[in-house]
Structure formats: structure tokens, C-alpha cells
Amino acid sequence: MRQRASQPLGISHALPVSGGALDECGPQQHFRGMTNVDHRPTAAPMDALWMPFTNNRAFKAAPRLLASAHGMYYRDQDGREILDGVSGLWCVNAGHGRAPITAAIQEAAATLDFAPPFQMGHPLAFALAEQLSTWLPPGIDRIFFTNSGSEAVDTALKMALAYHRAVGEPARVRFVGRLRGYHGVGFGGISVGGIAPNRDTFAAQLLPHIDHLAHTHDPSRNAFSRGRPAFGAEFADDLERIVREHGAHTIAAVIVEPVAGSTGVLIPPVGYLERLRALCDQYGILLIFDEVITGFGRTGAAFGATTFGVRPDMMTLAKGITNGAVPMGAVCVDRKIHDAVVDHAAPGIEFFHGYTYSGHPLAAAAGLATLRLYEDEGLLARAATTAPLLERAAHALRGQPYVVDIRNIGMVAAIELAPRPGAPTARAQEVFLECFRRGVLVRQTGDTVAIAPPLIVSEAQIEQIMGTVGEVLGRIA
């Protein structure tokens, strides 16, 4: 090992945090119980870490380092409180440092650190799959674990191919995504995804046989909609164009996010998902909902499928499945898909796919504890009752400088800004940075500022998040 001139990060490991009930998540109490913790980096070298989806050079010139988290708050390396307006990265739906999840992870680590998932099993993974199946739309009750949303998406695409082969339609190899869609960063995910910068560098090696539906963002008709926009169900008919061009018999699956999150929170117009479902039924095409962001209360119910009353054939999940505490993803499929691939296969391994850490004991334990916490605290119901407060506070920003659209559903909202001439995305980036400086974490995506707080957020905290965004908008150029 090479010697380094400077010390490594001076981070000691946190002792388990105490508390975690909603009433303990206020700014005064939220670091109760954290003793002997010093997460402050000491002159840490930063060169070795190549950061994901980050402007590495700018970050390392002016780092933003988080040291601890509890309830609704992060604390940064200087001990400053940061109100979390985006659930970390759309994943910490029950708030940070929740004691039952921490305890479950600790117990799992002490009991069974690892179990091989190929040709072996362990009880927690089966228990989580059983439990999760009771949350899903009826009939979607076969679950395959992955470690991330990206892996869940690529797994789902493979399953779609395997299904069509199993039922005697091997010509169905084409996937249909949607412009502006985000489905993670695997080659499958970026191929069906529709965000140009995520694809451009890799364009020469994207999957073949991919098409994209038109996106649904139509501010000329729908700007400042509250909840589902009224206009745009007909965007689903774009699938007919692809069917005409290639023939339905070549199309394996359509994959969409019920609410497109990472591109800037695009809410499906009234009737759109229903129409997409009807067209997929008509043409024998599988419909995949990528619910990595929309799962676990974000849209005001368990899943986007629940909120919008449309049942897909497959769902991809991640993030909120473990409250962000341990990496995990899942593909949840209609039983007919599982049975076609598994029950009708020749003896032996039925599906040549899997990950060393599929259903890892720590992730499964975290998932079980998370589902229990969502239930015990009624967090999904709480999301539905808090949603109108978020809607009101978001739309109060209408009329602030540069605001060209505000969108919301459930516990997610977006403020879209006019791009600065010659410097698109710069305004929203400045809003993100200045909000952080003022102690509020929001997410910037393109020219949009996204807000998706943990479901435990209080009305006062919603006001603080939106109020800070509003103040900052008044100060940028």
C-alpha cells in the first residue's frame, strides 16, 4: 500500500441513534443519543474518489460533506443542520436514522452476514418477498431482488425477453421507453432511457431495437397544473406509430416511470397511463412501471400504480424499499410472467440471471423493518394528508422570478425555471447551492428544482423548504 502524505478521513463510526418517532424529529431533538461521534473529515484528500453524477472539479473545490442524519435533518461537517427536502435522493421516505431499521440491520449483520443467493437461501429474503407481495397490486406477487434501481430495470428487461420466448413469441425483442425517461445507468436502462447526456457518450453501444414514445410535458396546455394535468392522454397513442413501423409482434415491453422523476417531475396527464395500458393489452405488449422513485408513498399511495389505478405487468422498485439504508432493488412481476419462465422451463436453472447480493441479509432485514415502519406509523396515509400542504406551498411560488411551471402530486413537487440565456440549468443549480447554504437540501435537475421530502415532514418544515426556495429565487439573476 502506498503511503499518503495526509491523514485519511477522520471519521469514527456512529453509535446507534436512539429515538426515531415522529415527535423526535424536530430540530432540537434530532441528534439525541449520538455520542462519541465525530464525522468531520480532517484535511481529507479527495482525489481518489471519482464521484457519480457530480461535477467533480467544482465539488472538490468547494465540497459539501454530510456527516450525520436523523429525522428530517442532515448535519454537515461543520455541524450545520440541513433540512432534507428531497429524502436524500428520493429514498429516505421514513426520515433518517430510524431506530427500528438500524436495529434490524445490526441484528442481521451479527446473525448472518452473508448467504449465497444462488442455490441457497435465507429466511429474511423469503419473508421480505412475502411481505412485499401483500403491498403490490393483486397478481403482482413474484419478486426478484437486485441491489439498485438500475439493476432492477435491466433485470426486468431480461425477464420480458425470457417471458416472450417462454410463451412462444421469441420475435418480441423490441423495447419502448419514453423521451426524458430515466431508468438508471446500465446499458439496458440508458438504452430505454431518454435523457440525452446519459446516452450520448455511449451512443455507439446502446441496445439495438429500442424506440421512444413522446414525453408528456406540455406546458403550453398544462403549466401550473395541480396534480394530474388535464391534457395529454393522447401522447400514449404514440405507441401506435411504433407498432405501425415495426409490427406489434416485435415489441416485448414498454417501460415508463408513472411520474418521470429525474427529468424534472412530469406528472402523467389524466387518462394517459390508462391509454398506454389499453394499447399494451391490445398488442400483447408487457407494461413495466419503473417505480424506483414513485414507490412507497411518494405519489400519496403505496405506488404510482395505486395512485393512478393502472396495473402494470411488472414493477421495478429500489430506494424507499429499505428507506435508503442498505442498497436494494426489486423486480415485481405478474405471476403469469414468473410461471411462464419458471414452471415451464426444462429441469435446471430457469433464469440465467442474478447478483451475488440479491436479497442480501442486511438489505432484507432493512426492507422488512422499513415496511413495518411505514405501516406502524401510517406513513402512506400521512403522505396523502400532507400532500395538499405541499401542493399549496409549492404553488405559492407562482409569480416568483423565472418560475415558468409548478407541478406536484403526492409528496413530490417541482418548480421549473426559465433557462438563463446562454447558460441552461445554471439558475436551478444556483438555487440548489444557495438553498444548501441556507440549510435546505433540494434537488436540481436541468432547469427544474425538485422537492420530495420524507413523508414525516411537518407543515412548518414544508413552509421552510418552499420559503427558502422562494427567497433564493428573489436573489438570483
Ligand X SMILES: Cc1ncc(COP(=O)(O)O)c(C=O)c1O
| Shortest spacing between CB 29 and ligand X, in angstroms | 31
Q: Which residue in 20, 31, 94, 101 sits closest to 68, CA to CA?
A: 31
Closest to ligand X by CB, 160 or 292: 292
CB 177 within 8 A of CB 183: yes
Q: Which region holds residue 180: left if phi is over 0, alpha if psi is between -120 and 50, else beta? A: left
Q: Is 416 helix (H, G, I), strand (E, B) or coil?
A: strand
Q: Is 253 helix (H, G, I), strand (E, B) or coil?
A: strand
| Shortest spacing between CB 177 and ligand X, in angstroms | 11
| Shortest spacing between CB 357 and ligand X, in angstroms | 13
Q: Which residue in 306, 367, 468 sits closest to 98, CA to CA?
A: 367
| Shortest spacing between CB 40 and ligand X, in angstroms | 28
CB 476 within 8 A of CB 432: no
| Shortest spacing between CB 289 and ligand X, in angstroms | 9
Closest to ligand X by CB, 242 or 292: 292
Closest to ligand X by CB, 151 or 430: 151
Closest to ligand X by CB, 216 or 262: 262
Bridge-based pairing state of the strands 440-441 and 81-84: parallel
| Shortest spacing between CB 185 and ligand X, in angstroms | 6
Q: Which residue in 35, 40, 23, 51 sits closest to 75, CA to CA?
A: 40
| Shortest spacing between CB 310 and ligand X, in angstroms | 16
H or E segment to which residue 283 belongs: helix 272-283
d(CA 172, CA 160): 9
Closest to ligand X by CB, 214 or 292: 292
CB 290 within 8 A of CB 257: yes
| Shortest spacing between CB 146 and ligand X, in angstroms | 9
Contacts of 453 (CB under 8 A, 6+ apart): 72, 84, 85, 86, 87, 390, 411, 461, 462, 465
Report phi then psi at 174, rounded to 5.
-90, 140
| Shortest spacing between CB 459 and ligand X, in angstroms | 27
d(CA 447, CA 463): 22
Q: Which residue number is nearest to ligand X in terms of Cβ?
A: 149
H or E segment to which residue 279 belongs: helix 272-283
| Shortest spacing between CB 326 and ligand X, in angstroms | 12
CB 261 within 8 A of CB 293: yes
Write down the residue that cell numbers 403482482 correspond to: 140
| Shortest spacing between CB 79 and ligand X, in angstroms | 29
Task: Tell me how far CA of residue 299 lies from CA of 4, 109, 259, 285, 444, in angstroms.
Answer: 48, 32, 8, 25, 19
Closest to ligand X by CB, 183 or 427: 183
Closest to ligand X by CB, 91 or 166: 91
Q: Is 123 helix (H, G, I), strand (E, B) or coil?
A: helix
Write down the residue that cell numbers 404510482 correspond to: 304
| Shortest spacing between CB 355 and ligand X, in angstroms | 12
Closest to ligand X by CB, 229 or 258: 258
Contacts of 346 (CB under 8 A, 6+ apart): none
Q: Which region holds residue 356: left if phi is over 0, alpha if psi is between -120 and 50, else beta? A: alpha
List interacting residues with ligand X (CB under 6 A): 148-150, 153, 182-184, 257, 261-262, 290, 292-293, 318
Paired with 413 in beta bridges are: 408, 451
Closest to ligand X by CB, 150 or 222: 150
Closest to ligand X by CB, 190 or 383: 190
Closest to ligand X by CB, 153 or 310: 153
Closest to ligand X by CB, 190 or 473: 190
